[in-house]
Structure 1
């Protein structure tokens, strides 16, 4: 379902959505709020943690770019949402050309399957203290380039070391792989 088509709010009314209820649509979360005459939607603004807005333009851009990214790679969406976590190197520097993403099988319902690391990792990959879990929402706030890649499937590597970031599909067996979530516990 297209998030922002004219009938979306009408569909929510038909379903009896009440103010305060949360609606998940694709990667995004919305909250129904009381409007002047009817229910309106607000969403996180992607500027600061837990900062909401009724301006849905940032959400629209993220949704559109995610769909275009899937289409350009001929990929089928691997669902996740902004509240799920990624396994993240504590070395990451938001905006760095050395960041890379690797999508693995999710370890749990709260896990997105994404690993966010640095190509030139300086920390010990065998040390569990090298990594942390962070929400995709938090990662997107810190580096908005990441949002368009979150729906790509398991086996995708994304690199930011060129003028335009790019993705590659890789086999999960063999070759250098970042630590799995199971290895971090």
Structure 2
């Protein structure tokens, strides 16, 4: 695996801490460093056991030595290009991109975020995986580890009649494979409904069916040159990675790490 292009570095409790990424995500990386600095005032981070859950992702501090023999602490994160439930990576690009996307969605909508990690599950309609138009709806989680999110077809007259075999419960990280653009809504509160055409969100409403503000693709065209370039670099990097993975697999997107089938609510 190629070494990421950009290094973010900070001093925390006199220890050198580094994070790697492929694109300039300084603000997102800085947020992680700031949280670690605050936590370090109360607990010992530097023991090769510390784990930080920040938003959707998990971060791990691992001791390393550079080519000159100098010790430093590397921030690793879950590897979304393989399987984040099993593997880690020193490339934090995807974790930082999703952090930015989710923060923007919550802030623009002016709502209070409700947690969802990459390990929390979502209920997916299999027929919606490669559909152009889909929707996501968040209900109250049924149990610990359940995000409450449902991913289905936008127009599905047979939804109420579908057998349980038409659905799968999967970790939410698999949205990076299914629909990268949909990852942005995962921290939105219970009741939220989001509609997507491809990776573009076309509608967002709250639990009382009131429209919520979100940044459209058209609005992004009018961002400043620097902002637009940074945003496009981040999103394109994620989309290219997903496309390369799909091409390497040489087969349609498949869900894996499937958990036991839940009972389907009558109104899903």
The TM-score with structure 1 as length reference comes to: 0.80
CA displacement at 1:71 relative to structure 2: 1.1
Gapped runs of 5+ residues in structure 2?
Answer: 1-26, 66-70, 210-261
Rounded to whole Å, the distance in 2 between the matches of 1:41 and 1:108 is: 30
1:26 to 55, 63, 73: 55
Contact in 2 for aligned 1:89/1:117 (Cα 8 Å): yes
State the structure with more CA Rg.
2
Contact in 1 for aligned 2:28/2:100 (Cα 8 Å): no
> For the aligned residues, what is the CA RMSD?
2.7
Rounded to whole Å, the distance in 2 between the matches of 1:66 and 1:124 is: 28
**Which residue in the other structure is 1:176 paired with?**
none
CA displacement at 1:163 relative to structure 2: 8.1
**Which residue in the other structure is 1:101 paired with?**
136
1:1-185 matched pairs, under 5 angstroms: 4-5=29-30, 6-11=33-38, 14=41, 15-17=43-45, 18-36=47-65, 37-50=71-84, 51-94=87-130, 96-121=131-156, 125-126=160-161, 127-161=163-197, 164-165=200-201, 166-171=203-208, 182-183=263-264
Contact in 2 for aligned 1:75/1:153 (Cα 8 Å): yes
Contact in 2 for aligned 1:124/1:130 (Cα 8 Å): no
Gapped runs of 5+ residues in structure 1?
Answer: 173-180
In the alignment of these two chains, the number of paired residues is 175
CA displacement at 1:39 relative to structure 2: 2.5
SS in 2 for 1:167: strand
The TM-score with structure 2 as length reference comes to: 0.57
Seen in structure 2, the aligned counterparts of structure 1 residues 8 and 99 have a Cα distance that, compared at 3 Å, is: same
Runs of 4+ in 1 over 6 A off after TM superposition: none
Rounded to whole Å, the distance in 2 between the matches of 1:163 and 1:82 is: 19
CA displacement at 1:8 relative to structure 2: 4.0
CA displacement at 1:123 relative to structure 2: 5.7
